[in-house]
Amino acid sequence: MTDVTRLVIFGRQGAGKGTQCDRIIDHFGVIHLSTGDMFRVAVAAETELGKQVEPIMQSGGLVPDEMTIGIVRERLSQPDVESKGFVLDGFPRTPGQAEALVEMLGDARLTAVINLDVPLDEVTARMKARGREDDTDEGIAKRLALYDSETVPTINWFAERGMVVNVDGLGTEDEVAERIFAAIESSD
């Protein structure tokens, strides 16, 4: 029997991760788990967590691992996620989060770790064009720098364990989606 599909997708901000996550969800029927969305919901609802993370998000910094791991752990243990599988978007973003993820999954192994590869100048242009509230020049620069200092080592952490599939993120949405589906199906 085939196990449920459990995915992690990496890609610089502006790499088209959000769009491709929607395609993955339609195709595989998995649940989208975006830590950015979870934090934005907490900020909008003005919860205790939301009040703590709001200034961090505004400045383009990373929310501390304990808080981020906590929010993911809670969501991963819910029955819909356990039965349908998931695509994690924006998590893990540090090697500490990666270790925590593998530990919390235990025997429920990841199906694939996708690295959506788009050159830096292309993502910078795309981010400037989309104009989200935390997409100030300073915020963009800080998030891109954090991607290199924290998330690239996280991708390497998975790569060292032979778990990463690199997917070329340049091309039409359909072309990129087809590459991702093929990568997931061959990792199954």
> In the sheet that 86-89 helps form, which strands lie side by side, from edge to edge?
31-34, 86-89, 6-11, 112-117, 164-168
**What is the nearest approach in angstroms of ligand ADP to the Cβ of residue 97?**
6
Region of residue 94 (phi > 0: left; psi between -120 and 50: alpha; otherwise: beta): beta
Contact in structure between 21 and 89 (CB atoms under 8 Å): yes
**Cβ contacts of residue 128 below 8 Å, gap of 6+?**
135, 137, 140
Q: Is 151 in the site for ligand ADP (CB under 6 A)?
A: no
User: In whole angstroms, what separates CA 68 from the centre of its chain?
Assistant: 12
Amino acid at 80: D
| Contact window for ligand ADP (CB under 6 A) among 58-66, 79-87, 112-120, 177-185 | 58-66
Q: Which is nearer to ligand ADP, 41 or 56 (CB)?
A: 56
Q: According to the binding rule CB under 6 A, does residue 140 interact with ligand ADP?
A: no
> Is the Cβ of residue 60 or residue 169 nearer to ligand ADP in the bound state?
60
Q: Which is nearer to ligand ADP, 21 or 165 (CB)?
A: 21
The reply on whether position 158 binds ligand ADP by CB under 6 A is: no
What is the binding site for ligand ADP (CB under 6 A)?
A: 13, 35-36, 39, 56-57, 60-63, 68, 90-91, 93, 97, 143
